[in-house]
Amino acid sequence: MIIRMWHGVTPAAKADAYSDYLQQTGLPGYRETPGNLGVQFVRKIEGDRAEFLTISWWESYEAIRGFAGDDIARAVYYPEDDDFLLEREPTVAHYEVFVDQYGE
């Protein structure tokens, strides 16, 4: 299993609107891609900034290509992201899961 992580920052005043926008654009984009195993959107608001982290789980790097294209390190953006984000981070991070255990 592969985890794909994206990070972005908005003004705190736009945090709720961007949260809604992510659920309307990114969530379906991830979930409708074959090989996607799940996704979480998390945020942290400090002062006048809101940081967002998207964590998605994938069966393989090939499955990620179905979402991101051939350059899987490239971040995927949607048309109205520029209305919210302070900047576009060009890349994402990938991690291979080697232990997957929850609870006792």
Tens-digit pLDDT profile for residues 59-96: 999 999 999 999 999 999 988 999 999 999 999 999 99
Tens-digit pLDDT profile for residues 52-61: 999 999 999 9
In a domain, 102, yes or no: no
Residue 94's Cβ-count burial label (10 Å; 0-12, 13-18, 19+) is middle
The structural domain count of the chain equals 1
In a domain, 104, yes or no: no
Query: 31: phi > 0 → left, psi -120 to 50 → alpha, else beta; which?
Result: alpha
- What CATH number has the domain bearing residue 82? 3.30.70.100
The stretches of 1-104 forming alpha helices (DSSP H) are 15-24, 26-31, 61-68
Residue 54's Cβ-count burial label (10 Å; 0-12, 13-18, 19+) is buried
Q: What is the pTM of this model?
A: 0.89
Tokens of 57: 């789980």
